[in-house]
């Protein structure tokens, strides 16, 4: 029994994912079909891809809330280059991703200069990105994007509902899992989240690591922005607003602690998919869209409470061991 409880605790996101699938299977006959499940993956591919980067920041002990409007401004810039500047698709995509990497590193730079936690820097940057996006678009939607660009998010392979974006999401997830589980970089990320001061004393270049983490987070955010813009077929200043809540909730449900130092990429994927399954299942069940916000908020509160409970429980256990010693 203890082994089962331990397994469920370590794989809580996947257990919840399975339970949600079982529940919604009974509420709608169309839920557990290959087409619908692939549609859920397609709809959440950009969220999961951006979650890879946010998970990295959180594992290192930070928290970034700028991903939503960072994706929005990147999508807007990409669309403007192609529609108004007639820039080739490949060039526009590369510039967009590079811009997003720069945004990620700017967040780290401001964190270092202002000596503020990343969450406060990201909240400020989010507002800046929001304002710039509305200024350069003049609050208008940019449409008429090239068909070969829209194919990035809409093009399919092997199955009518299996997109290139989903394939890339899976490949990127496998690569990130390998990096975090099997390389020194992954160990350094967890070390930063566990104890930054001890990491510095151990010889880890904390400053370079934070810039690398910010750049990688920006990379995935930029790729997510390209996929979202191509999938929607248009860009607006608020296209990705709210994505940060879904990403944050999914990563927390996936077992990444708000204090950093632990987590798995695969579990983060499951956490984001839980959000996608809830939205899809509630929609198929005929429930009002606004209930989805209630569900997401409730899940976030529950997961943060559980994380705080785990931290407190470990602290009590550690103190008890010290007293016994």
- Per-residue model confidence (pLDDT) at position 288: 75
- Per-residue model confidence (pLDDT) at position 308: 74
Neighbouring CB atoms inside 10 A of 25's CB total 12
- Per-residue model confidence (pLDDT) at position 318: 66
Neighbouring CB atoms inside 10 A of 293's CB total 13
pLDDT along the chain (325 residues), means of 10: 66 83 85 88 94 93 91 95 93 96 95 91 94 92 91 88 92 94 92 89 92 96 96 91 87 82 87 88 80 79 76 72 68
Would you put residue 203 in left (φ > 0), alpha (ψ -120 to 50) or beta? left
Q: Tokens in use for 188? A: 């350094």
> Tokens 């660009």, residue?
149
Helices marked H in 155-289 — which ranges? Answer: 164-182, 184-194, 196-201, 206-232, 243-253, 265-284
Q: Which contiguous run of DSSP H or E holds residue 161?
A: strand 159-163
- Per-residue model confidence (pLDDT) at position 8: 64
Q: What's the whole-model pTM score? A: 0.90
- DSSP character for 287? -
- Per-residue model confidence (pLDDT) at position 189: 94
- Per-residue model confidence (pLDDT) at position 111: 92
Q: Tokens in use for 292? A: 């989805």
User: Residue 38, class by beta-carbon neighbours within 10 Å (0-12 exposed, 13-18 middle, 19+ buried)?
Assistant: middle
Domains along the chain with CATH numbers: 45-255+262-308 (1.10.3470)
Q: Which residues contact 287 (CB under 8 A, 6 or more apart)?
A: none
Q: Tokens in use for 77? A: 């810039």
- Per-residue model confidence (pLDDT) at position 73: 95
């Amino acid at each position: 029994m203890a082994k089962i409880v331990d397994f469920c605790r370590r794989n809580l996101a996947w257990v919840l994912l399975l339970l949600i699938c079982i529940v919604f299977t009974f509420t709608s006959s169309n839920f557990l079909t290959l087409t619908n499940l692939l549609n859920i993956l397609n709809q959440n591919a950009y969220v999961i891809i951006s979650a890879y980067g946010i998970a990295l920041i959180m594992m290192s002990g930070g928290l970034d809330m700028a991903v939503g409007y960072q994706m929005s401004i990147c999508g807007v810039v990409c669309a403007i280059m192609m529609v108004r500047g007639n820039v080739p698709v490949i060039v526009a995509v590369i510039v967009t991703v590079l811009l997003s990497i720069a945004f990620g590193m700017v967040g780290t730079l401001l964190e270092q200069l202002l000596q503020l936690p990343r969450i406060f820097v990201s909240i400020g940057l989010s507002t800046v990105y929001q304002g710039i996006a509305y200024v350069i678009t003049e609050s208008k939607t940019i449409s008429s994007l090239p068909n070969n660009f829209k194919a990035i998010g809409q093009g399919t392979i092997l199955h009518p509902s299996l997109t290139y974006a989903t394939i890339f999401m899976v490949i990127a997830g496998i690569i990130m899992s390998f990096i975090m589980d099997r390389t020194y970089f992954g160990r350094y990320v967890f070390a930063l989240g566990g104890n930054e001061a001890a990491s510095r004393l151990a010889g880890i270049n904390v400053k370079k690591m934070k810039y690398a983490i910010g750049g990688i987070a920006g990379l995935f955010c930029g790729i997510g922005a390209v996929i979202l813009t191509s999938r929607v077929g248009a860009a607006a200043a608020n296209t990705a607003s709210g994505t940060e809540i879904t990403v944050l909730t999914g990563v927390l449900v996936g077992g990444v602690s708000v204090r950093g130092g632990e987590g798995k990429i695969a579990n983060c994927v499951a956490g984001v998919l839980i959000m996608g399954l809830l939205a899809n299942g509630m929609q198929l069940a005929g429930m009002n869209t606004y209930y989805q916000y209630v569900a997401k908020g409730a899940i976030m509160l529950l997961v943060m409470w559980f994380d705080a409970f785990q931290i407190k429980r470990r602290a009590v256990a550690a103190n008890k061991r010290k007293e016994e010693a």
